[in-house]
Chains A and B, each alone.
Chain A
Amino acid sequence: MSSCVIHGNMVYLAGITARDLSGGVAAQTKEVLETIEARLAEAGTDMRRILTAQVWLSDMANVAAMNAVWNDWVDPEFPPSRACVSGALFCPEALVEIVVTAVIGE
């Protein structure tokens, strides 16, 4: 699979989990968002141009801790539309996975 696919002005990122799964949900969310930012930069865009975010949590008990990191990261003037649900992730140590779509340019 690809970590990023670009079609026209649309950017589709793969679901991203933290590489370091030893941390708690805050640390994992921070790493995931940093990776998203880096991938978007490579694609020539940024988090203010995200259309949708899909947050998967392994346990909804972690939603407040995830939201705290999310709110620190997002630009409050340009937030994406986001869904957050819980389900089993690819391995038990992964606490959060985020999928985003974004646009490049106008």
Chain B
Amino acid sequence: MERYGLVHGPGRPTICLGLAHRDWLTVCSTAPDRSAGIAGQTRQILSILDKHLAEAGSDRSKLLTAQIWLKNMSDYDAVNTVWNAWVDADNAPTRSCVSANMSKPESLIEIRITAAREED
């Protein structure tokens, strides 16, 4: 089992952003710069996903599932525009998108993905 993006410290939960086990991995994150708008926050998260997917020996073409939480469902179209530009259209994951409040009120979006990878 490998962990990526360890979070630890005062005022923060002890968690990891990414975790890989055998031929499977998951990454879950909000955007670090919460001053950004919905498109910017979405792009930040997708770049974190790319980073940890690569560290785990996978990439965005190997996604299995995605769960998107939106603070405001009115941001749905804006998220989809960024999502569609990022995702591998030939290998798109299943996806669910619902609205919820994240830990920080300025967080507009949180995404969890699961993906496949070649086993070590």
Chain A contact residues, CB within 8 Å of chain B: 49, 51-53, 60, 63-64, 67, 70-71, 74, 76, 78-87, 103
| Stretch of B13-21, B75-83, B84-92 lying at the A interface | B13-21
- A49–B17 touching, CB < 8 Å: no
- B16–A81 touching, CB < 8 Å: yes
The secondary structure that dominates the B interface is: strand
Q: Once the chains are docked, how many angstroms separate the CA of A85 from the CA of B7? A: 17
Q: List 20 A-B contacts (CB under 8 A).
A: A52-B112, A60-B103, A60-B105, A63-B103, A67-B12, A67-B13, A79-B7, A80-B16, A80-B19, A81-B16, A81-B17, A81-B27, A81-B28, A82-B28, A83-B28, A83-B110, A84-B13, A84-B102, A85-B100, A85-B110
Question: Residue B6 at the A interface, CB < 8 A?
Answer: yes
What is the total number of residues of chain B having a CB less than 8 Å from a CB of chain A? 27
- B1–A103 touching, CB < 8 Å: yes
Given contacts A103-B1, A103-B21, contact A85 B15 (CB under 8 A): no
- B102–A85 touching, CB < 8 Å: yes
- A76–B14 touching, CB < 8 Å: yes
A-B contact count (CB 8 A): 71
- A71–B110 touching, CB < 8 Å: no
10 shortest interchain CB distances as A-B pairs: A85-B100, A82-B15, A86-B101, A81-B19, A67-B13, A83-B28, A74-B14, A71-B14, A60-B101, A79-B15
The contact of B18 among A63, A74, A81, A83, by CB within 8 Å, is A81
**In this complex, what residue of A is CB-closest to B98?**
A87
**In this complex, what residue of A is CB-closest to B112?**
A83
**Chain B residues closer than 8 Å to A67, beta-carbon distance:** 12-13
Shortest C-beta distance, B51 to chain A (Å), equals: 14
Q: Once the chains are docked, how many angstroms separate the CA of A103 from the CA of B1? A: 10
